[in-house]
């Protein structure tokens, strides 16, 4: 077993950072990093943000330089889907039928966009944004159409809408809920983003769903909505959520729920298999429950814990959930997790109409989560409030003259 490699399945950000961490933490044995894409590992946020908006190139998204893997003695296998995990003999099998031994295995298989389950949902001109090629195609589309339909008013959908409006494209966003982003933010703060897009000329159609994509000559030309209305468009971008890629784990008999179930050290129900990134549903020591976070920060930060666990250390991943977005002139960071029990109060500190504020979600006067919008250098204070679990005075929390605690 000592001569078997550490194998990482999934050559995205989480996989790439895990092999980097293994080397930085002193592991000098063989490492194999296996991915199904033709591109070497890259970060996904730029695909829907600066690269799509044209302020950066896709080359900026790569995690490492091309020669990094060879220089660090990492066996990088691209375009090599893994088809099976044989836990009994500690082997994976790749699409070419070759088996590879492993001593420890990391699953960083990520997630995949949920398809639009309506007639015409797979027509030419219907796009999903997950991979580098998707971003290229959508950017080219934005540069060549006058009317774009975005299905889904979540983070991806609104970032695509922002990029398209920046390029002068007419955009309609269709969202099933009364407001875009209502599920993660609640109605109080979701209104901020609705107003932002309305002010930038986006047409919002909320409280309706797409019944069918209208197709002419196998090409999408619009959509029919649940209220009977129709929208004309030259292309459609779908952002209705993502599903974790748990197929390998399920077939291997690992415990799977919303994602691959893991303890606080990211160890699965098999002690020789760990997880990181979108697919990990891990116990969070502070929150006291399992969470799965489909955002960049987990893929960036969990690998240090995953690598340490693979090397036999007793560690726990304790970073609070975090995500960010950039839309038009709005920049936002979010820390924490509201959780299944919800919140009973929202406190806004600053000017929400001017979109320069910090918002806090509370339950029993304790801060569950915080979001800073065009206000910077407050992240540590927000996290300190969440971690402390202390009861706060909402009036003082909202008062700009009362400093936020820093520890």
pLDDT digits (tens, 9 = 90+) for 317-363: 999 999 999 999 999 999 999 999 999 999 999 999 999 999 999 99
Residue range 98-119, pLDDT digits in tens: 999 999 999 999 999 999 999 9
User: Which architecture, in CATH terms, is 115-240?
Assistant: 3-Layer(bba) Sandwich (3.50)
Summarised one tens digit per residue, pLDDT across range 22-75 is: 999 999 999 999 999 999 999 999 999 999 988 999 999 999 999 999 999 999
* Confidence tier at 3 by pLDDT (50, 70, 90): confident
For 28, the enclosing helix (H) or strand (E) is: none
Boundaries of every domain in the chain:
6-112+243-310, 115-240, 329-398
Sequence-separated (6 or more) residues with CB below 8 Å from residue 402: 396
Structural class in CATH, domain 6-112+243-310: alpha beta
Choose the CATH number for 329-398 among 3.60.20.40, 3.30.390.30, 3.40.50.10490, 3.40.140.10: 3.30.390.30
User: Helix, strand, or coil here: 151?
Assistant: strand
- Beta-bridged to residue 267, according to DSSP, are 274
In this prediction, residue 405 carries a pLDDT of: 77
Backbone phi, psi, residue 3, to 5°: -90, -10
Structure tokens, 201: 């000329």
Separation of alpha carbons 238 and 317, rounded Å:
33
User: Could you tell me the pLDDT band of residue 407, with boundaries at 50, 70 and 90?
Assistant: low
6-112+243-310 and 115-240, same CATH topology? yes
Round the average pLDDT of the chain to a whole number and report it. Answer: 96
Given the DSSP bridges, would you call strands 330-336 and 322-327 parallel, antiparallel or unpaired?
Answer: antiparallel
Confidence at 278, pLDDT banded by 50, 70, 90: very high
Residue 2 has pLDDT above 90, yes or no: no
Q: Where are the alpha helices (DSSP H) in 180-220?
A: 182-199
């Amino acid at each position: 077993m000592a001569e078997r490699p550490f194998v990482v399945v999934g050559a995205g950000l989480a996989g790439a950072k895990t092999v980097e961490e293994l080397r930085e933490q002193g592991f000098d044995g063989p490492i194999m990093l296996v991915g199904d894409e033709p591109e070497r590992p890259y970060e996904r946020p730029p695909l829907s943000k600066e690269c799509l908006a044209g302020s950066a190139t896709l080359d900026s998204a790569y995690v490492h330089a091309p020669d990094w893997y060879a220089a660090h003695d990492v066996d990088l296998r691209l375009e090599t889907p893994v088809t099976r995990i044989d836990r009994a003999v500690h082997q994976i099998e790749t699409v070419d039928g070759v088996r590879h031994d492993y001593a420890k295995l990391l699953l960083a298989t990520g997630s995949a966009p949920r398809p639009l389950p309506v007639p015409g949902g797979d027509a030419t001109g219907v796009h999903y944004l997950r991979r580098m090629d998707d971003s290229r195609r959508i950017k080219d589309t934005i540069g060549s159409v006058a009317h774009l339909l975005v299905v889904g008013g979540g983070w991806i959908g609104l970032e695509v809408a922002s990029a398209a409006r920046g390029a002068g494209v007419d955009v309609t966003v269709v969202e099933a809920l009364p407001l875009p982003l209502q599920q993660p933010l609640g109605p109080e703060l979701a209104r901020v983003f609705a107003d932002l897009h309305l002010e930038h000329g986006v047409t919002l159609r909320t409280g309706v769903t797409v019944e069918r994509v209208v197709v002419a000559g196998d090409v999408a030309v619009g959509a029919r909505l649940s209220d009977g209305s129709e929208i004309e468009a030259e292309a459609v971008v779908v952002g209705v959520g993502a599903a974790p890629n748990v197929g390998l784990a399920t077939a291997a008999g690992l415990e799977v729920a919303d994602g691959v179930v893991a303890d606080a050290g990211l160890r699965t129900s098999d002690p020789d298999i760990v997880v990181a990134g979108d697919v990990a549903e891990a116990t969070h020591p502070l929150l006291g429950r399992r969470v799965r976070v489909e955002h960049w920060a987990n893929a960036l930060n969990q690998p240090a814990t995953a690598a340490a666990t693979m090397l036999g250390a007793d560690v726990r991943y304790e970073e609070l959930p975090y995500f960010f977005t950039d839309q038009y002139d709005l920049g936002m960071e979010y820390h924490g997790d509201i959780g299944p029990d919800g919140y009973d109060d929202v406190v806004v500190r600053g000017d929400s109409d001017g979109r320069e504020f910090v918002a806090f979600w509370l339950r029993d006067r304790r801060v569950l989560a915080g979001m800073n919008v065009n206000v910077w250098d407050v992240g540590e204070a927000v996290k300190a409030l969440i971690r402390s679990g202390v009861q706060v005075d909402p009036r003082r929390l909202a008062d700009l003259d009362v400093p936020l605690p820093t520890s």
